[in-house]
Amino acid sequence: MRLRTSIRTLESIVYPIAGMVAVLALWQGYVWAFAVNPIVLPSPLAIARATAANHEILLSQTWPTLRESVYGFVLALLVGIPLAVCVANSRILNLTFYPILIATQSIPKVAVAPIILVWFGIGMESKLVIAFLVAFFPVVVDTATGLKATPAGLLELARSVSASPSQTFWKVQFPAAMPFIISGAKVAVTLAVIGAVIGEFVGSNEGLGNLLLSANAQLDGPLAWAALVWLSVLGIVLFFVVVAAERVLMPWGHH
Amino acid sequence: MLAQVPQPMTDSSPAAEAARAFGRFRNVHQEFLQDDSKRLVAIEDISFDLKEGTLVSLLGPSGCGKTSFLKIVAGLAEATYGVVEIRGRQVTRPQPDFGFVFQQANLMPWRTVLDNVLFPMEIQRRKDAAAKRRAMELLELVGLAGFENARPSQLSGGMQQRAALCRALVHAPKLLLMDEPFGALDELTRMEMHDLLLEIRRVTNATTLFVTHSISEAVYLSDVIVAFSKRPARIADYIEVDLPYPRTPALRYETAFTDFEHRAGIALGITR
Ligand SMILES: Nc1ncnc2c1ncn2[C@@H]1O[C@H](COP(=O)(O)OP(=O)(O)O)[C@@H](O)[C@H]1O
Ligand SMILES: [Mg+2]
């Protein structure tokens, strides 16, 4: 049995890598075979070289983007979860705020970005706010869904032992909603990075989004793509930070 | 025909007086307002007494109002009218000295087995060393020693229901309410649970109201079977099961046992 699990683990590492290598090889072969202009599509090797040559600037431009994303994400959790608690537990608040929530969600964030820039300036605040705006919605919706989806049997159990409303919330509803909150957070953290980059595109003087734009403007294809790769790595790392948090917060796994 | 049905004694003979000391249900009636705003009478008129230390089964077909009645006794629901008294006091809300076992184990997946069992004590802010000792003793009694740190998802259905039983008993309830607790289990596991419940009753002596739609389960476990009619629930028969203790699986094949099954079958209208 242990052997089978370790084969499983091995498979789950080997196959994704094999897939990645295959795609990169095809890409490299295509660029070589057709001598594609690196401004249009640089080869993976060219991107790797550009990454190595520019690693200092890439690293230094990662910090602003990381900070904007993480702050926006954390703010989305801090505001989103309590709001979801209110919405899930009060019919009146639900009726009052849910339509507004849906309405704000349907506004395209890219379109608001210039306005946010006017309000909050060209510095970090405007990026943080845009990251917050895009990350906020999945947190609220998933948390509220999770709180409302508390198994009826557990609520009845709480009632049968005369649990107070706050005991019922903290000991039953909230832990029962944890899987939903975490899946909301996984979506939110990825969106937060996108939000930060949108902000940087619209107006900034630092960050990976800014670097990507200026590399593009200077027709430096490999550097633009290196920034893009760096951005995805940032997104993946943040995603796995949430996955690690899930392991700590939910040692019982998902059920 | 209804007039011939033996109804429970509700007079003031000495025996009835003693019964009055524990549970008294008089003319319990419950109606629900349905979605189409028609009234649905779930419980027509139920009166009987619950003697201390006995196990009384509520036996009846699905949908006849057994759960509704049990929830009223538990204080989880309200009768439209009627008297529900436990130890001389009208029940209007869940009582800290009641224990409830649901059809589903209702264990919290994020808690260990031990912490699930201790949940009532935690709610009552009595989760101390003594409570933990008692929880461990109960887990041992039901055969879950060694599983106290397991998660519910690691247990089989029967084991989960055993843990739920421990949770209902951890605060030493005076009244144990069980709603088809073994209904979701397979036959063999269910028979094991029957013997376990008999053993638990011997040890704890808790007064028990036990809802079931299984005739043989009711006969095997009960001192008294209150057979409910189809909805709206009335008492179809009140059967005092004077089979001796200790009851063991061999009892299931004796004529005295099958005679009781027959009588209950007649009450439910499935045989003559
Ligand atoms: N809260 C409720 N609202 C409306 N109807 C209900 C409600 N609870 C139970 N009923 C109805 O009352 C009847 C009895 O239900 P129940 O007590 O659960 O039956 P049993 O437990 O004997 O199977 C059923 O027809 C059920 O649909
Ligand atoms: Mg029922």
- Both tokens of A73, joined, read 């994400």
Phi, psi for B204 (deg, rounded to 5): -95, -25
Residue A196 identity (one-letter amino acid):
A
- Whether the CB-CB separation of B262 and B223 falls below 8 Å is answered with no
Closest by CA to B257, choosing from A81, B265, B169, is B265
Catalogue all structural domains in chain B, each as residue range(s) with its CATH number: 52-78+88-268 (3.40.50.300)
Ligand 2: distance of its center to the CA of B219 in Å? 19
Residue A77 pLDDT level (bands cut at 50, 70, 90): very high
pLDDT at position B6 is 59
Provide the pLDDT for residue B209. Answer: 97
What distance in angstroms lies between residue A156's CA and the mean position of ligand 2's atoms? 14
DSSP-derived 3-state class of residue A113: helix
Q: How many domains does chain A have?
A: 2
* Average pLDDT value over all residues in chain A: 92
Instruction: Select from A157, A162, A250 the Cβ nearest to the Cβ of B102.
Output: A157
Tokens of A81: 């979860």
Q: Which of B100, B108, B123 sits opposite A167 (nearest CB)?
A: B123
Residues A5 and A121 both lie in one domain: no
Q: Ligand 1 atom closest to Cα of B64?
A: 22
Please indicate whether residue B66, judged by its CB atom, sits closer than 6 Å to ligand 1.
Answer: yes
d(C-alpha B1, C-alpha B14), whole Å: 29
Q: Residue A125's domain spans which residues?
A: 42-254
Residue A255: pLDDT band by 50, 70, 90 thresholds? very low
| Contacts with B108 from chain A: Cβ below 8 Å | 154, 172, 175-176
Q: What percent of chain A shows pLDDT beyond 90?
A: 75
Contacts of A181 (CB under 8 A, 6+ apart): A81, A139, A142, A143, A146
- What's residue A7's pLDDT? 86
A25 and A54 co-located in one domain: no
DSSP at B8 = P
Residue B142 has pLDDT above 60, yes or no: yes
Ligand nearest to the CA of B63: 1
The band of B7, judged by pLDDT with boundaries at 50, 70 and 90, is low
C-alpha B215/C-alpha B263 separation (Å) is 10
- Say yes or no: A96 and A2 in one domain: no
Identify whether residues A144 and A60 lie together within a single domain. Answer: yes
Backbone φ and ψ for B28, nearest 5 degrees, come out as -70, 130
Query: Same domain, yes or no, for A209 and A97?
Result: yes
Closest CA to B228 of B46, B35, B39: B46
Q: Does A34 touch chain B (CB under 8 A)?
A: no
pLDDT band at A39 (very low <50, low <70, confident <90, very high): confident
**What is the model's pLDDT at position B3?**
44
**Same domain, residue pair A192 and A149:** yes
Same domain, A121 and A228: yes
pLDDT in the model for residue A254:
58
Lowest mean pLDDT among A195-204, B8-17, B30-39, B52-61: B8-17
Angle, CA B50 vertex, CA B260 and CA B66 arms, to 5°: 70
Please tell me which residue, B19 or A230, carries the higher pLDDT value.
Answer: A230
Q: Strands of B39-50's sheet, edge to edge?
A: B89-90, B81-86, B23-33, B39-50, B233-240, B224-228, B55-59, B207-212, B175-179, B98-101
C-beta separation of A242 from A182 below 8 A: yes
Number of C-beta neighbours around residue A21 at 10 A: 10
The domain spanning residue A166 has which CATH number? 1.10.3720.10
Beta strand B81-86 with B23-33: parallel, antiparallel or unpaired? antiparallel
**Are residues A187 and A228 located together in one domain of the fold?**
yes
Q: Are both A2 and A79 inside the same structural domain?
A: no
Range B261-265 average pLDDT: 97
Q: Return the residue in A161, A162, A168, A248 with the most chain B beta carbons within 10 A, the one to mutate for interface testing.
A: A161
